[in-house]
Structures are given as structure tokens and as C-alpha cells.
A and B are shown apart, each in its own frame.
Chain A
Amino acid sequence: MIPIDMNRVHSLTRFVLMFVLLCGGLSSHAEDDITPSVDEAMIKLSDEIARYIAAESDAKGQIAIGSFQGPAGSGAGARIVHALKENLKSKCQVTDVGAAYTVSGKFMGQKIDGKFVTVIEAGIDDALGNSVQKLRRKLVTALAEGLAFFGPSSVDLTAANPHAEPTKPVNEKAAEEHNNPAAEQLVSSIVKPQTHLDVQRQSRMKPSDDSPFGMEVVLKQSDGTYQSLDVAVEGGTARVNIQPKQIYAVRLFNDSAAPIGCRLTIDGINIFALSLDPNYKGKETIMELQPHAKFLIKGWHHSGEISHEFRVTNYGDSPAAKFGVVDGVGILTATFYRAIVPVNYKISRGFATGLGDEVDMRYRDGQVRFDNPIGAVSVRYFRPAHPTDLPGG
């Protein structure tokens, strides 16, 4: 059965190579940087943890990774866990059970003097829960990189920076960022989450009341159709009611006249994190949303045409558990990016169809590259009981 919404093929662009390069350029201009990038900081932190484990004979080369706590609106906890897991797996054995040492911690961030300062504190505990070593990392990065790492909640940045020229040279952009209202707003969204619902359809969440793009969570019905879920707002945070074992999808829409990019994360994990395609797997892949269109994202990307449905399961069976994420579980976030459109850009059309547990979702490499984030929407879909059977849980 064809879904209610007509879908267009989602063009896919590799994680914003442009964005990464841009951030690298900006951060190199931050003369006070002690670590040039978040990635490098995470590698150094992982190296220190691995050295500690290697030097302790009772560690037997094993470590468990617990959660990293921080502001509720941030997805950085999940990213830290993911990065540690990825970086440590080649240096020691990362395990959930039986490790003599567990690393967990906390993080915080703030915009200071036009830069973004992030502090990550990783604590190593022994098998009895006694703290034996703490490792701090303070990162001073360009705003864009810091905020991308820290992860936005619902926020619209287009109004705050309407004349931003994505093609401006990096140096000019770096100078501009010192007084960038968009950045201020992004920081504010982390500290004070807000939800903006579409006036016509209360199931649609948008970065701002007049934003042309946004997100809707839909529940799969027994006949295979998808039913929009109403959104409740509690303390500025959106919430939808999905129960365990239910299958849901995420509808993204772009009512603007230009393509935009969208990174969709569930439980802090990019929906392409499980992809078999090495170009997409484990990377911060961004989808291109073409103008005046809606897109039904039915599952975790698996291969070129197949995805696995989003099903609320026990934590142990979830991708979050696979990546060792605890802190960000239960939050869906769509982050929107300004697209840099090539001269010969053309809209392609196609379909995405669901077939049982495996869902056809056709993607292809896109032509568009992406600039800084321009808005984001977050919704909590299920607040799970905090896992108590995990190290550090």
C-alpha cells in the first residue's frame, strides 16, 4: 500500500563534507584552541582511557562505558559515548558486563567570547564503584562545531541570520560568528527548550511558528497506514505517546521553495548509523529534503533500498544499546541545514514504501552540500526507566 503522503526520493549527501571542512577552518582561526576539533579531543580522551586500562593489570584490557550526563536539550552525551566506543574498540575490549573499570561522566557547554567552550569530564570507576581517575577535556571551538557537537533542540535560526551567505569565505564567516544571533538562539534552545506547533495541525512541530519545515511523528496502524500523533508540550519540551512494541515513522516536510538538509537522530543516533553502506555508516549523514515536499522516514537505513522500521523495544535490543548510549534515549531530533545548491540542480521524483519489518526506502547520492544548521526540532517519544542493569547505570 502506498502511504498517505506522496513521497519523493530522498537525495542523500555524504555527511556534509563541506560542513566538516568549514568547521576545521573556523576552529583553526580560534587562536586559543587547545584541541583543534571535537573529534581530536575525543580521540585523545579515548587514548588516555586506553592507557589507563593498559597500565592496570586487573583491568585485563576491558572497559565498560556508562552514560555521560549533561543538559536535557543536548545530544552530546550520546555522541560522547558513541565516539568513545568507536575510538576505544581498537585499543581495548569494550564490554557491558564483567569489566573491572567503567568510564562515565558529565559534560557542559557555553558560548564565551564568540567561541563555544565544552567541558567533558570522564571518570574511571573500579568494579566497586570507587572513583579512581578523572580526565577533563576543555574544548574551545568555533561556534558551529561546538554547537553541532552539543546538539540542538527545537530552534529556528533563519530569522536570526536571514542574510547569511553560505558561500562566503571562511575567514569572513569566522569574524561574523562573534556576534551571530543565530548562535545565541541555538545556545538558548539548549538551555531553554521550546516547541512550536503548526496552527493547522497540532501534530507538526516546527523550529518556529512561521518556519516552512518541520517534523511529525506518525504511528503505524494495523492496516499499514500511518496516523499522526498529537504532541503534548511540557515545560517547553514536546512529547508524543508511543508505547513499547509500537512501530512509528517520522514525517519531515519542507514547504519552502529551496532544498534543505536534515539530519535525523533517534536516541541520539543518526538513522544511518547502522547502514551497511560504508559511505553512510557511522557518519553524520544528512538527507536532502527537496522543495515543497513531505518525506516519510520509516526506519533505520540498512542498505540502498531497505530500512528497518522504528520499533520501540527493550533497551537491550535497540541501536542505542548497540552504541552504548543511555543518556539520549527517548529523544527524536531533526536538525535542518541550509543547502548549497549547484547551478544545474534538478528535482528528482520517486517513492518510499513500507514492507513489513523491512521497508523499502530508496536513497541516492545527492548533488547538494550543506552549510550551518538553520533550525531543529526535538520530541521526546518515550521516557524509559533508567537502565539499572548496565555498568554505570
Chain B
Amino acid sequence: MMRVLLLFSMALGCSFAGAAEATDISIEATEILKNRCYSCHGVEFDVPGFDVLDHAGLVAKKADEPAYVTPGDLDQSLIWQRVAVDQDMPPKKVKNRLSASEVKVLRQWIVDGAIAAEYRGREFVDEDDVLRSIRDDLQEMQPESRPHQRYISLHSISNNSRYTDSDLRLYRAAVVKLLNSISRRSRIVNSPMIDASTDRPTEGTVFRVDLRDFGWTAADWQKALLNYPYGIEWNDNKRQGLTRDIEQLVGALSFDGIPYARADWFVAKASRPTTYHLLLNIPENVEELNARLGIDPERDFLQDRLQRAGFASSGVSHQNRLIDRHEGTVTAYYYRSYDFDKAFGRGVLFRFPLGPRFNGNPHDQFAFEHAGGEIIWNLPNGLQGYMLIDADGKRIDKGPISIVRDMREISGTPEIVNGVSCIGCHRHGMLDYQDRVSGSQTLTSDARTKVDALYTPPARLQEVVNSDRDRFLVALKETIGPYLQVGDATDKQITDFPEPISTVAVWYDQDMVIGDVAAELGFADSEAVASSIQYNQKLKDLGLAPLPQNSTIPRRMWDTQEESPSSLFQRTAVALGVGSGLNPN
């Protein structure tokens, strides 16, 4: 008997240590969805807003058709109907189809109630561990370096059973890609993970960010932390002591009031204006950007030193679009789109291909009038910077929905938000495009000659776009490769991974379940938090009542500081007695 028990416990031990992700039908089903469906319904969002890994979205009831998944009911599960009954999903052209055993797993999962997958194989990272890691890291470095150090932690993600190990890797990649995408320096920096083991240095939870590596000042970081909704002063004496140690090591006047910023919030916040503009130091108008990058668009136009292409519609616009590619004295490449809000008069590229209008344009009678545009340029470190502008060249935060829209809703809405939307779309660098304008219009001979000089033949254009994309991909691999191409993904191509920043930004905006709330407040046991909410009227009054009933609350309710400087997260921490809110600087 003893021998039987021993064998049984050994087997259990193996399952937890090695293969926790493969023992649960929910996990198996989720892995199937991720491998077979996620690239179109999660990375690309072929159906706007539909993410197969968003469990709440999967099981949400719909007004006019069955839910994607109705727990326990195959007939009322759209995914089952499309995959197993109609068999038109994945589409016939896709080679990566579900095997019979995978269909069986999917069936069993739905019949059993379509429970959300939970990944419990990771060790819980306590707040104390994070603070201790930061303190020890500071202690080990030269005192004069300490005031320049900041920390970003994703331990609340690591502690959240919603996320798989590969999700966690994507989070790490998102942090590092974003840091480098808003860096002002010329080299890629793989920020060290201070709590990672030496044999797996990129698989920790806490990043050290040396402000000097990215060309930022303490004031820049201070501004980036404005409206940080997750600051807490812990009630626990040990945590208070560790925080004081960190404050002392950094220096009281360099310390931001919080030892670290949360990775998920940072990625969601710093990939959008105003933080994106601030940290990358994007000026307020295109003239200043051009001056910094050594770009002179008018001179390039007059001297035929640009590659131009126009077309009638693109992935983001149903209006005409024109793209000029320049080379600068500072930047290797610079693309500027001219977007239009009208399909008549000087908004028709085919009749007016020789804009924009400017003093000294000898072809003014054929010059278009645009409504705005997007600028993409090669950063000194090889990644890309983005800027949206209006017709006057002034920087804007979002593209007007009447001109451009993002059907994949990377920003959470169809609006194209500078930074995150552009990064999500240009995940492998420049997209392919071809000129459709140059041969289409009736022009004078001078104008015809100019069109021929500016508008670039498809083969040549493809060549330069490929070259620019290769440059970007080299930098991308250097940036996120060490964090993604590990473990079972070592041999995967860098282009086979989802775009990390936009993916994490979408995940951050997901509706929250009790497990999310518990993990973010530092609780290992979400059931205990659910009970606390159930029996605490104050917590219910705060708006948390749906959580113990397996329902959700919106993220924007959890992190907003619109009504009060104290976020719901902070007020919940106070009500649960874990700490008080602390808004940094």
C-alpha cells in the first residue's frame, strides 16, 4: 500500500513540476484554439473584437446568433458548428487544420462546461520577493548608478492563472520591445531581469530599467508615471521596511514613491499618447520632426529624390492614399502617407498626383490636397517610430475615424491611436504596397515626366520596402528574440509570434474576472477574495459585486482616476486592509 501511495504522489509531483499545461481539458482546448485559430482571431482580428483566447468574450451571449461557445451545449456553440459541423473553419485554404483528436478535445471541453483554462504550474511570486529583488539589485550596484534605476514588474501576470508560460514570454517581449520602441538611443537594450536565474536570464518577472540606456531623465519617467493607478503603500511592516530600504538606496528625492511600475499598465500606457510622444520625444509638428531626422520633403520632391506610390484603398483607409519614402541624414528611412477625407476635386489622386501643395511646387495645378497622414521612420536602434499628423502637419493622438480606421481594433476601438495601433499593424516593419496611380491620368508632358520620376515601379518599390523591412526585422529579433525564442519556441521564426505590444495592450483591456483582481492585489487564493467581496458591503458598494458571481468588471472601471485620484484598485486595497493608495509624483 505504501508503495502505491508513493508512486501516486510521485506522479502528481511530475504533473505539477513539468507538464501542468497538459493535464487539464480546458488547457488542452485553449492550446488548440491558440494553435489553430488565434493567428486570425486574436493576432489579426479577422472578425473585429473576436479573440479566441478571451474566455469572457467566447462565452458571452449574443443577440442574433449563438455564442461562440455555450457551455454544455454544442448546438448553441458557433465555434463547434463552424469547426465540426459545417467544417468551414479554419477556411479550406488553411493547411493548419484541426486533427480528429483535437476536435474531440474541443467537443469534450464544451460538453464539460467550457471552463476557462487556468495555469497553476508557476510558483507564486510574493510582493516581498519583488521588493527584496529590487533592494538587493540596488545594493549590488555602484551608489552613483542607483538614482537612474527604475523597475517594471510582471509578477501579477505571472501569478495570474489566466496566462500561459508563452503568454508570459509575450509580456516580457512587449516590455522590452516597447522600451526600445520609445528609446532615444541608438542601440537595442535587453533590460536585465533581476530575479531570473543565471541559466534562464530572460525568464524572470522584474525588469531593471536604467534611464540612461534609453536617453530619459528622471523627470521623463516621473511624467510617464502620471496617473499610475496601482500605487500602494503596503500595511505589512516587512514590505514597508523593504520599500524604505529601496527609497534610501535610490535616494529620497530620486525615488518616485513606488518601487516599481506594473508591466501590463506600462505597456498599455506608454504605447499611446501622451506617454508615447513624451518618451520618444516626438515633436508637435512635422517640420520639427523633419528637421531632426534630416528630411526635406519639398527638396526631395523637386529633386526627384523620393519613392512615391498611390492607391485607392488600403488596410486602414477606403479613401485614396499616397505614400512617399524618403531617406534622411539621420534616419535610414522615412515613410509619410498622405490621407484624404474626400473622393472628389483635389482629393482624387489619379487627377492630382503631384502634391502636396507648397510654395514653389511647379506642378500646383496637379497638386492634391490631403487631410492628414502617418509618418513612420527608422529609429537609431533599428525599430520604428510613428507620428500621426493633421493637414497642417500638427501632431495628433488619433487618426480621424472618417479618414482611417483599424478594423482589428487594436486600440480597443476602431480609432487608430498613435503608437499602439501603428506598432500592431507594422509588426514586421513596412507592409507591402504597390502604386496604382502613375499610369492612370491625363497630364501635360511636364507633369507626366514628373509623375514618371516620382512614382516608383513595383519591382523597385518592393526592393526598397524589403530592404527596410529586413533592417527592422534584424532589430526586432535582437530586441524580442531573447525573450520569445526560448524553451519550446527556440526554433520558431521571429515573425511567427504575435506582435507583443498590441497583444498585451488588448489583454490589458479585457474585462476582469475574480482571478485577475486577486492576482493584482497580491492574493494567491482568488476564492478568499471572492468571499471577502461577498461578505463585505463596502467592497460591493465599490462595484465589485459581480466578481464572486463569476461575472466580470471592466478594466477601465478598475484603473480609472477620472472621478477620484484613488482608483478602484486602490480603494479595494484599502477596504481589504492590504494597504493605502499611493500616487507617485
B578 at the interface (CB under 8 A from A): no
CB distance from B212 to the nearest CB of A (A): 14
Q: Is the CB of A55 within 8 A of B564?
A: yes
B563 at the interface (CB under 8 A from A): yes
A138 — nearest CB in chain B belongs to which residue? B585
Determine, out of B2-10, B20-28, B128-136, B215-223, the stretch whose residues face the partner at the interface: B215-223
Q: Is the CB of B217 within 8 A of A133?
A: no
Q: Is the CB of A34 within 8 A of B223?
A: yes
Chain A residues contacting B204 (CB-CB under 8 Å) are none
Known: A32-B218, A132-B574, A134-B233. A119 touches B253 (CB 8 A): yes
Known: A32-B218, A133-B580. A55 touches B563 (CB 8 A): yes
A134 — nearest CB in chain B belongs to which residue? B582
Mask: chain A, 102-133; 1 = CB below 8 Å from B; 0 = not: 00000011101000010101010000001111
Complex Cα gap A210–B189 (Å): 57
CB distance from A251 to the nearest CB of B (A): 38
A383 at the interface (CB under 8 A from B): no
| A138 in complex: contacting residue of B253, B563, B566, CB < 8 Å | B253
- Could you list some 23 contacts between A and B, CB below 8 A? A32-B220, A34-B223, A52-B565, A54-B564, A55-B563, A55-B564, A55-B566, A56-B564, A108-B252, A109-B253, A119-B252, A123-B580, A130-B574, A131-B233, A131-B580, A132-B574, A133-B570, A135-B565, A136-B256, A136-B582, A136-B584, A138-B222, A138-B256
A177 at the interface (CB under 8 A from B): no
Q: Which of A328-381 contact B (CB under 8 A)?
A: none
- State the 6 A-B residue pairs at the shortest beta-carbon distance, nearest first: A55-B564, A32-B219, A131-B580, A136-B257, A138-B585, A133-B581
| A132 in complex: contacting residue of B217, B222, B566, CB < 8 Å | B566
CB distance from B480 to the nearest CB of A (A): 31
Q: Is the CB of A34 within 8 A of B583?
A: no
Q: Is the CB of B253 within 8 A of A108?
A: yes
A111 — nearest CB in chain B belongs to which residue? B253
Mask: chain A, 136-175; 1 = CB below 8 Å from B; 0 = not: 1110100000000000000000000000000000000000
| A133 in complex: contacting residue of B563, B583, B585, CB < 8 Å | B583
CB distance from B558 to the nearest CB of A (A): 15
B222 — nearest CB in chain A belongs to which residue? A34
CB distance from A113 to the nearest CB of B (A): 10
CB distance from B33 to the nearest CB of A (A): 41
A33 at the interface (CB under 8 A from B): yes
A51 at the interface (CB under 8 A from B): yes
Complex Cα gap A238–B223 (Å): 41
Complex Cα gap A309–B563 (Å): 46
CB distance from A115 to the nearest CB of B (A): 10
Chain A residues contacting B217 (CB-CB under 8 Å) are 32
| A134 in complex: contacting residue of B220, B222, B564, B580, CB < 8 Å | B580
Q: Is the CB of A134 within 8 A of B581?
A: yes
| B565 in complex: contacting residue of A51, A108, A110, A121, CB < 8 Å | A51
Judged by DSSP, the binding face of B is: mixed
B567 — nearest CB in chain A belongs to which residue? A133
Q: Which of A210-264 contact B (CB under 8 A)?
A: none
Q: Which of A45-60 contact B (CB under 8 A)?
A: 48, 51-52, 54-56
Complex Cα gap A134–B573 (Å): 13
Complex Cα gap A51–B560 (Å): 13
Chain A residues contacting B256 (CB-CB under 8 Å) are 136, 138
Complex Cα gap A378–B564 (Å): 40
Chain B residues contacting A52 (CB-CB under 8 Å) are 564-566
Chain B residues contacting A140 (CB-CB under 8 Å) are 219
Chain B residues contacting A121 (CB-CB under 8 Å) are 257
CB distance from B144 to the nearest CB of A (A): 13
Chain B residues contacting A135 (CB-CB under 8 Å) are 565, 583
Chain B residues contacting A110 (CB-CB under 8 Å) are 252-253
Q: Is the CB of B563 within 8 A of A51?
A: yes
CB distance from B236 to the nearest CB of A (A): 13
Known: A32-B217, A121-B257, A136-B257. A48 touches B565 (CB 8 A): yes
CB distance from A268 to the nearest CB of B (A): 23
Mask: chain B, 81-108; 1 = CB below 8 Å from A; 0 = not: 0000000000000000000000000000
B217 — nearest CB in chain A belongs to which residue? A32
Mask: chain A, 17-35; 1 = CB below 8 Å from B; 0 = not: 0000000000000001110
Chain A residues contacting B571 (CB-CB under 8 Å) are 132
Complex Cα gap A54–B220 (Å): 30
B226 — nearest CB in chain A belongs to which residue? A34
Q: Is the CB of A133 within 8 A of B253?
A: no
Complex Cα gap A126–B271 (Å): 36
Q: Which of B521-576 contact A (CB under 8 A)?
A: 563-566, 570-571, 574
Mask: chain B, 230-264; 1 = CB below 8 Å from A; 0 = not: 00010000000000000000001100110000000
A123 — nearest CB in chain B belongs to which residue? B580
Q: Is the CB of A51 within 8 A of B222?
A: no
Q: Is the CB of A34 within 8 A of B564?
A: no
Known: A34-B222, A34-B585, A138-B222. A130 touches B565 (CB 8 A): no
Q: Is the CB of A136 within 8 A of B583?
A: yes
Chain B residues contacting A54 (CB-CB under 8 Å) are 564
Complex Cα gap A139–B404 (Å): 40
Q: Is the CB of B581 within 8 A of A132?
A: yes
Q: Is the CB of B565 within 8 A of A133?
A: yes
CB distance from B183 to the nearest CB of A (A): 18
Complex Cα gap A226–B561 (Å): 57
Known: A32-B219, A136-B585. A117 touches B253 (CB 8 A): yes
Q: Is the CB of B564 within 8 A of A33?
A: no
User: Which of B223, B571, B581 is most buried by chain A, counting CB atoms within 10 A of its CB?
Assistant: B581
Chain A residues contacting B565 (CB-CB under 8 Å) are 48, 51-52, 133, 135
Q: Is the CB of B570 within 8 A of A34?
A: no
Chain B residues contacting A108 (CB-CB under 8 Å) are 252-253
